[in-house]
Amino acid sequence: MPRQPRLDTPGALHHVMGRGINGIQIFGERDDCTDFLDRLKNLCESKAMSVYAWALMSNHFHLLVRTGNVQLSGSMRKLLTGYVVNYNRRHKRYGHLFQNRYKSILCEDDPYLLELARYIHLNPLRAGIVKSVKELDRYQCCGHSVIMGNVKHEWQDRDTILAYFGKKRKRAIEKYEEFITDGIVEGSRPDLVGGGLIRSLGDWSQVLSLRRSGSKVFSDERILGSSEFVEEAIKDADEKAKETLRLTLKITDLSTLAKKICLGEEVEERELRSGLRKRSVVKSRKFFCQISVKHMGYSGADVARFLGITTSAVNRLAVSEGLPGIEKYL
């Protein structure tokens, strides 16, 4: 299955995870944690993101962040690339440190901000790194100790979490710790690794196709939230993807796309918008159907009305094997 595109908009809440390649230890020394956290601090201070919860485990990490003035992908590239360079230098090694891409899940604030903060902050306890909540209260490689006020990291947003538990700081911290303690009995939370009602099986055209047909499957691994939140997140990202393509190609509608392809393939638009079977026209029509349906999100029926051919013919051309040369229009 092709890799799915990231879902991100300014102010979006994300649960981000990264794992060492082949289970390698990525936070084996205090200097490793310090370097990672210093880079996280720089991102927060530059308003690229806000961090609500985090845990650095031996071979993986968890972050709960809200994007700011930089997309998540840009912030994570800056964080992880710099960390790998320094890690390899410190440990006299070469090559990749992280396994594949980091994983990010777009999350609905209510109720998942608190649930994810608790899930992330209980990681060291679940893994046996600390033996009790009281020990976790002072554990320096996890954001829980910051919220408790025992470790100072001014860049971490502790106020947002504590605000859920009351206006008076001392009482809010006590209630927050009770909330954390109550979560111990819940153990591992597989329900917090992604949810929703629509799954992207590849690119945005497949998402749109599922939505139009009313087909539903159990989840989208990139999204955690109610069905309404999932629908809205996909809709927003779809519009963003289509707008990006239109800006790149200066395409605003089907007519503009037709003119661009006809000019590039040296065919007449009236030929494209007919049933003519000339080789060059068929090739151009195939380009048009694949770009308009698979990349711009138009329905087969919309494209069929524009071309003057049947919807089944458009859909057949749209899903057929790509032809060499289509890249120049993408």
Let me know if residue 204 belongs to a domain.
no
Q: Is residue 78 part of a domain?
A: yes
- CB proximity list for 106: less than 8 A, separation 6 or greater: 7, 8, 12, 13, 14, 222, 223, 224, 225, 233
Tell me which of 147, 172, 192 is where a domain ends: 192
Task: Give residue 47's pLDDT.
Answer: 92
Q: Are 46 and 159 contained in the same domain?
A: yes
Beta bridge partners of 50: 66
Strand, helix or coil at 207? helix
Residue among 324, 260, 325 nearest 292 (CA): 260
CATH number at residue 113: 3.30.70.1290
pLDDT, tens digit, 9 for 90 and up, residues 50-62: 999 999 999 999 9
* Virtual torsion, Cα 86, 124, 139, 62, nearest 10 deg: 50
Are 281 and 275 a contacting pair, CB within 8 Å?
A: no
- 164 and 34 within one domain: yes
Residue at 244 is within a domain: no
Do 37 and 159 fall into the same domain? Answer: yes
Phi and psi at 105, nearest 5°, equal -120, 120
**199 within domain boundaries:** no
Report the predicted TM-score, pTM, of the whole model to 2 decimal places: 0.63
Which CATH number does the domain housing residue 264 bear? 1.10.1750.10
| Domain region containing 135 | 13-192
Number of domains forming the structure of the chain: 2
* pLDDT for 206: 44
Neighbours of 38 (CB within 10 A): 13
* In a shared domain, residues 166 and 275: no
C-alpha neighbours within 13 Å on the C-beta side of residue 273: 13
CA angle 4, 303, 288 (to 5 degrees): 70
Provide CB contacts within 8 A for 74, sequence distance 6+: 48
CA 8 to chain centre: 6
Contact 82, 43 (CB under 8 A): no
E strands along 11-155, which residues? 13-19, 49-56, 60-67, 103-107
Considering the domain architecture, whether residues 264 and 169 belong to the same structural domain is answered as: no
CB atoms inside a 10 Å sphere around CB 256: 13
Which of the residues in the chain have pLDDT under 50? 1-6, 194-208, 210-211, 215-220, 247
Question: What's the pLDDT score for residue 203?
Answer: 36
Task: Give yes or no: residues 180 and 273 share one domain.
Answer: no
pLDDT of residue 319: 81
Q: What would the pLDDT profile of 193-240 be if each residue is shown by its tens digit?
A: 544 433 333 333 444 454 455 544 434 455 655 556 555 665 665 565
